[in-house]
């Protein structure tokens, strides 16, 4: 009787987006608005000796200037590491850090005034190499005072179960390698933008391109010293995030501060270069990984030693540090398991969360080593993986609870659809196919800021006009979560989508949802929405049952009618709404989601806990030119277990987007620095794949019906990226017989490997 | 500041502009036509694509003064009388829109492309779209939307 759930559904805001009517942050206009421009550090590491803004102040078009000491409260998305201030105060820690800001009548005046501010710096030696950052150093070289032992180590995460080192020694086959991953960035198409207004009665409104309105509201309140109920955050239509708009940012705080200082609306809109300097992308990583198996190919032990380059500040880094290791506990059963990850501070823009957060690089390493072990054990790489999968309804060694699990079906699908059995190892030299699997969380079970509130609350309003309005704090960032909420309401109430309106991501209208990160929205906000509209349905059923003298449980909601199976009662939706709202008026029901208690009681047991996990597999086919080293990806077959595809159109879109982003990281994308200065801070030199570079895609949705997901659903936003990268690496080996340990895999690196004839 | 007369979506506008202002600046900041997006401002992402005398151009690097008395068509001028153009309809229905930020520029490129190539191959479509970056979709659904729209327009 499903009408909406499970059917390909165009996004409810697609019509507004395709006509240009959808308003993104920078499309808003306020009269009497000021423009902000930031003065940024030209140095990677330096003390600020003095700031002279007198020339800027003299400009008659300048309305306010702000410097670091005005906003001294430290913040960070994670309350355990608030190490950042809105502007640098005593010293700068990367090229591009904001030192001062100007609000002026025009953008040009703001820029000119910002450039007229004189800052005197005393240069400090910059720490740019993560290896160096691990070593103890002179106090002057320490980026933050709070790092321990005179190093620049931000966080060490370590977990070990059942002595994996000994396990490796006892294994029949062991493969170890060192891998290197360049830093990559989200490259969303919409640059960061923020508007702030401050009303005469003291309410701050911030309209911003943010994935996390709730955390932004909290941070604005803390840093600006306003009570939270006087801070309103609104997220309009948003042009892509992928994790890159998942922190509260300095520019948001400063824009709000300048609105408070001037009493005028302030507009902040970034240039593309500024977007790059506000990176927060995937951590550059060096890791050594070892995996072992017995002679039958059963996995025995895994150990990883990982160093991740955090850049100047913490961002989500503590979580990343754990995720690099803990998310290797699936999709395979490995009972002797351990890792150590060290995140270091360096004088570069900070690294943070990016699609597939924390697990993409280490997944590449593991899946590459598994390919090598399969060969050692004389097994087909698909068979080798198949016999090591975790089952459903089990626990990993680190006590991650696995509920639904469709990984077997995923691998079978890509194996069959790619013609693996006829083609693997049999294609001519220069042509090859490779396979890999993936595993990811459907939302973090623990909120970032620990409290007893639900992770998501949704209100559903039934009005006398027969409409349903869903109020949710969830942030649609292009993944289609507004449509998902509307679909759930329509499904439960048996009405078409046109009856449903969705109001989201406005802290003054919608109840709290923690935001779009950790692939949590469909699972958590979806569950909350389902519960809210089920209560509305219950209220309507109760009212109709009393009036028509039937059992409430006998009533069905279908095709805009409320009826019994025998036709004894059959009222239209509008009639049912009239009955339900008689003598009480329109009403609102509230639903919420709280994760069940999960995990063990050891230190670090909270990392990677999720109410459910998604699984996936990919096969890629490549052509490698052995003269030039150029790798062309011809086709990618991807299968993903998303529990239940609430909207197959959106699920496919997320899978295809993951293939595109994975392809970019594996072959062409890299943030390149010279002495701490970003060399390719533009979309011409930072090469994301174009329509011509992106291969043919074949996507298969696997539905494992998660017992706790809404209608069985779990995530699809991030999981599908994981197997893409290693499947391409493994395909290169099948094509030309070289293993690639460094990403991106440029033609030079392939040529070098071919010359050296690596393993 | 010189004055400038533009024909935008069939309507004449006269504005005072600075000589350095781009067509994108004038459309967004002076005429309030914010449907055209500023993605990179460096002529690489294609989000600001509009049609100038029916040819797709990057409005972020086109000086506004060069457009004097010429016909500019923006995304606001594509759906007429509230009815989507088949290209728009097809993008909506096929899921070729996610965050939507690249979409207006993408639509303008597709319109110009299909008017010259009514029956394109997938490869030709990919080539035509290669100047319009999309980070969400992986392009697959956009390419199929163009094929569908081409069919509709031919019939």
Q: Is the Cα torsion angle A11, A12, A13, A14 positive or negative in sign?
A: positive
Residue A660: predicted pLDDT: 98
Q: Are A319 and A358 in contact (CB under 8 A)?
A: yes
Calculate the alpha carbon distances from A680 to A243, A466, A670, A673 in Å: 20, 54, 9, 8
Nearest-CA distance B75 → chain A (Å): 6
| Tens digit of each residue's pLDDT (9 = 90 or more) over A592-633 | 999 999 999 999 999 999 999 999 999 999 999 999 999 999
Mean pLDDT score across all residues of chain A: 97
Q: Which residues of chain B have a CB within 8 Å of the CB of A26? A: 34, 38
The reply to whether residue B127 touches residue A189, judged by beta carbons under 8 angstroms, is no
Q: Which residues of chain B have a CB within 8 Å of the CB of A21? A: 35
pLDDT confidence bin for A757, thresholds 50/70/90 = confident
| Residue in B42, B99, B127 nearest the CB of A683 | B42
Q: Which chain B residue's Cα is nearest to A656?
A: B138
Residue A139: predicted pLDDT: 79
Q: Judge residue B20's burial from the number of C-beta atoms within 10 Å of its C-beta, 0-12 exposed, 13-18 middle, 19 or more buried.
A: exposed
Phi, psi of A477 (to 5 degrees): -115, 20
Q: Judge residue A426's burial from the number of C-beta atoms within 10 Å of its C-beta, 0-12 exposed, 13-18 middle, 19 or more buried.
A: exposed
Dist. CA A305–CA A647, nearest whole Å:
39
| Tens digit of each residue's pLDDT (9 = 90 or more) over A211-248 | 999 999 999 999 999 999 999 999 999 999 999 999 99
The reply to whether residue B98 touches residue A479, judged by beta carbons under 8 angstroms, is yes
Rg for chain B (alpha carbons), in Å?
Answer: 15
Calculate the alpha carbon distances from A171 to A160, A188, A296, A299, A589 in Å: 17, 44, 11, 9, 57
Closest CA to A633 of A425, A410, A418, A355: A418
Dist. CA A494–CA A506, nearest whole Å:
27
Which of A108, A109, A189 should be substituted to probe chain B, the one whose Cβ sees the most B Cβ atoms within 10 Å? A189
Dist. CA A715–CA A122, nearest whole Å:
49
Look at phi and psi of residue A425 and say left if phi exceeds 0, alpha if psi is from -120 to 50, else beta: left
The pairing of strands A394-395 and A555-558 is: unpaired
pLDDT at A2 over 80: no
| Residue A156, SS3 per DSSP | strand
Dist. CA B152–CA B155, nearest whole Å:
5
Residue A331: predicted pLDDT: 98
Dist. CA B59–CA B134, nearest whole Å:
18
Q: Are A282 and A310 in contact (CB under 8 A)?
A: no
Q: Does B19 touch chain A (CB under 8 A)?
A: no
The helix (H) or strand (E) run that includes residue A160 is strand A153-161
How many other C-beta atoms lie within 10 A of the C-beta of residue A530? Answer: 23
Dist. CA B136–CA A724, nearest whole Å:
16
Please enumerate in sequence order all residues whose Cβ is within 8 A of that of A534, keeping only pairs 6 or more positions apart, or say none: A492, A591
Chain A residues 678-737 with CB within 8 Å of chain B: 682-684, 688, 690-692, 694, 696-697
Complex ipTM value: 0.98
The pairing of strands A299-309 and A336-344 is: parallel
Which tokens is A694 given?
């992106």
Provide DSSP, A620-633: EEEEE-TTT--EEE
pLDDT at A1 over 60: no
The reply to whether residue B99 touches residue A188, judged by beta carbons under 8 angstroms, is yes
Full-model pTM: 0.98
Longest Cα–Cα distance of chain A, Å, equals 85
Cα A282–chain centre separation? 10
How many other C-beta atoms lie within 10 A of the C-beta of residue A294? Answer: 13
Chain A residues 25-84 with CB within 8 Å of chain B: 26-27, 29
Q: Which residues of chain A have a CB within 8 Å of the CB of B1? A: none
The pairing of strands A266-269 and A231-234 is: unpaired
Residue A148: predicted pLDDT: 86
Name the one residue in this structure whose structure tokens are 């042009």: A239
Phi, psi of B29 (to 5 degrees): -90, -30
| Tens digit of each residue's pLDDT (9 = 90 or more) over A369-404 | 999 999 999 999 999 999 999 999 999 999 999 999
Q: Strands, E, within A356-475: which ranges?
A: 394-395, 401-402, 431-441, 456-462, 468-472
Closest CA to A737 of A371, A468, A492: A371
Dist. CA A573–CA A115, nearest whole Å:
63
Q: Does B15 touch chain A (CB under 8 A)?
A: no
The pLDDT > 90 percentage for chain A reads 97
Q: Which chain A residue's Cα is nearest to B84?
A: A19
Residue A374: predicted pLDDT: 98
Rg for chain A (alpha carbons), in Å?
Answer: 27
Phi, psi of A549 (to 5 degrees): 55, 50
Q: Are B20 and A8 in contact (CB under 8 A)?
A: no
Mean pLDDT value of segment A38-51: 98
Dist. CA A578–CA A463, nearest whole Å:
9
Q: Which residues of chain A have a CB within 8 Å of the CB of B140? A: 656, 694, 696-697
The reply to whether residue A17 touches residue B100, judged by beta carbons under 8 angstroms, is yes
pLDDT at A759 over 70: no
Longest Cα–Cα distance of chain B, Å, equals 49
| Residue B146, SS3 per DSSP | helix
The reply to whether residue B38 touches residue A269, judged by beta carbons under 8 angstroms, is yes
Dist. CA B59–CA A69, nearest whole Å:
40
The reply to whether residue A26 touches residue B38, judged by beta carbons under 8 angstroms, is yes
Closest CA to B78 of B111, B103, B52: B111
Dist. CA B5–CA B68, nearest whole Å:
5
pLDDT at B104 over 70: yes
Chain A residues 457-486 with CB within 8 Å of chain B: 477-480
Q: Is the Cα torsion angle A245, A249, A254, A256 positive or negative in sign?
A: positive
Please enumerate in sequence order all residues whose Cβ is within 8 A of that of A627, keeping only pairs 6 or more positions apart, or say none: none
| Residue A555, SS3 per DSSP | strand
Residue A445: predicted pLDDT: 94
Dist. CA A548–CA A536, nearest whole Å:
18
Q: Does B55 touch chain A (CB under 8 A)?
A: no
Name the one residue in this structure whose structure tokens are 């991650």: A400
């Amino acid at each position: 009787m499903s009408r909406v759930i499970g059917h390909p559904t165009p996004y409810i805001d697609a019509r507004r987006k395709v006509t240009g009517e959808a308003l993104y942050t920078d499309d808003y206009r306020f009269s009497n608005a000021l423009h902000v421009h930031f003065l940024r550090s030209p140095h990677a590491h330096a003390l600020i000796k003095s700031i002279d803004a007198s020339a800027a102040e003299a400009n008659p078009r300048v309305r306010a200037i702000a410097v670091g000491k005005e906003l001294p409260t430290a913040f960070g998305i994670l309350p355990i590491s608030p190490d950042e201030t809105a502007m640098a105060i005593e010293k700068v820690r990367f090229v591009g850090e904001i030192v001062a800001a100007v609000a002026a009548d025009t953008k040009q005046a703001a820029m000119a005034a910002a450039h007229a501010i004189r800052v005197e710096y005393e240069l400090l030696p910059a720490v740019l190499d993560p290896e160096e950052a691990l070593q103890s150093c002179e106090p002057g070289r320490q980026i933050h005072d709070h790092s321990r032992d005179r190093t620049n180590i931000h966080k060490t995460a370590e977990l070990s179960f059942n002595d994996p080192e000994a396990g490796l020694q006892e294994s029949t086959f062991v493969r170890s390698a060192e891998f290197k991953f360049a830093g990559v960035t989200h490259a969303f198409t919409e640059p960061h933008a923020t508007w702030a207004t401050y009303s005469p009665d003291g309410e701050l409104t911030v309209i911003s391109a943010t994935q996390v309105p709730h955390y932004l509201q909290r941070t604005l309140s803390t840093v600006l010293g306003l009570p939270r109920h006087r801070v309103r955050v609104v997220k309009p239509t948003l042009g892509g995030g992928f994790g890159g708009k998942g922190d509260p940012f300095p520019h948001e705080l400063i824009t709000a501060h300048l609105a408070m200082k001037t009493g005028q609306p302030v507009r902040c809109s970034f240039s593309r270069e500024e977007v790059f300097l506000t990176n927060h992308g995937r951590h550059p990583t060096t890791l050594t990984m070892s995996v072992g198996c017995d002679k039958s190919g059963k996995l025995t032990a895994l150990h990883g030693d990982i160093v991740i380059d955090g850049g100047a500040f913490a961002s989500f880094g503590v979580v990343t540090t754990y995720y690099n290791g803990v998310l290797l506990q699936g999709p395979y059963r490995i009972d002797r398991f351990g890792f150590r990850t060290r995140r270091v501070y360096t004088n570069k823009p900070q690294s943070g969360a990016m699609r597939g957060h924390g697990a993409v690089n280490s997944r590449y390493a593991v899946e590459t080593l598994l390919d090598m072990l399969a060969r050692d054990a004389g097994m087909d790489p698909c068979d080798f993986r198949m016999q090591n999968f975790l089952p459903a309804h089990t626990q990993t060694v680190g006590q991650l609870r696995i509920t639904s699990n469709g990984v077997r079906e995923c691998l079978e699908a890509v194996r069959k659809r790619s013609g693996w059995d006829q083609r693997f190892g049999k294609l001519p030299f220069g042509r090859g196919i490779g396979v890999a699997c993936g595993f990811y969380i459907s939302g973090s079970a623990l909120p970032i800021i620990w409290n007893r509130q639900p992770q998501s609350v949704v209100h559903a309003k039934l009005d006398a006009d027969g409409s349903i309005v869903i109020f949710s704090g969830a942030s649609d960032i292009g993944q289609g979560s507004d449509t998902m909420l509307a679909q759930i309401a329509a499904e439960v109430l048996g009405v078409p989508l046109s009856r449903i309106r969705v109001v989201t991501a406005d802290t003054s209208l919608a109840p709290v949802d923690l935001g779009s990160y950790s692939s949590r929205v469909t699972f958590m906000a979806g569950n909350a929405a389902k519960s809210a509209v089920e209560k509305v349905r219950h209220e309507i059923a109760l009212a109709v049952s009393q009036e028509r003298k039937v059992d409430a449980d006998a009533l069905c909601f279908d095709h805009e009618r409320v009826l019994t199976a025998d036709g004894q009662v059959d009222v239209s939706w509008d009639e049912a709404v009239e009955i339900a709202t008689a003598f009480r008026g329109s009403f609102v029901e509230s639903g919420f989601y709280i994760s069940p208690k999960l995990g063990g009681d050891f230190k670090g047991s909270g990392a990677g806990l999720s109410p459910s996990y998604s699984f996936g597999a990919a096969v890629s086919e490549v052509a490698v030119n052995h003269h030039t080293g150029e790798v062309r990806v011809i086709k990618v077959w991807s299968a993903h277990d998303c529990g239940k595809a609430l909207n197959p159109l959106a699920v496919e879109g997320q899978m295809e987007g993951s293939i595109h982003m994975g392809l970019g990281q594996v072959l062409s994308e890299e943030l390149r620095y010279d002495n701490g200065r970003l060399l390719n801070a533009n979309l011409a030199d930072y090469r994301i794949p174009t329509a011509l570079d992106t291969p043919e895609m074949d996507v298969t949705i696997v539905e494992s019906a998660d017992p706790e997901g809404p209608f069985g659903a779990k995530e699809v936003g991030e999981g599908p990226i994981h197997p893409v990268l290693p499947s391409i690496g493994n395909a290169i080996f099948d094509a030309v017989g070289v293993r690639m340990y460094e990403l991106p895999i440029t033609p030079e690196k392939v040529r070098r490997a071919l010359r050296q004839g690596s393993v | 500041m010189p004055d400038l007369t533009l024909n935008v979506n069939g309507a004449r506008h006269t504005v005072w502009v600075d000589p350095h202002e781009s067509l994108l600046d004038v459309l967004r900041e002076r005429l309030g036509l914010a449907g055209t997006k500023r993605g990179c401002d460096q002529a690489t992402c294609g989000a600001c694509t509009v049609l100038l005398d029916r040819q797709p151009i990057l409005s972020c690097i086109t000086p506004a003064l060069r457009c004097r008395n010429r016909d500019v068509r923006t995304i606001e001028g594509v759906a007429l009388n509230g009815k989507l153009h088949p290209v728009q309809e097809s993008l909506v229905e096929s899921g070729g829109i996610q965050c939507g930020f690249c979409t207006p520029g993408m639509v303008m490129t597709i319109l110009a492309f299909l008017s010259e190539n009514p029956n394109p191959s997938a490869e030709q479509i990919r080539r035509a779209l290669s100047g319009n970056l999309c980070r969400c979709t992986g392009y697959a659904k956009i390419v199929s939307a163009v094929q569908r729209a081409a069919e509709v327009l031919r019939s």
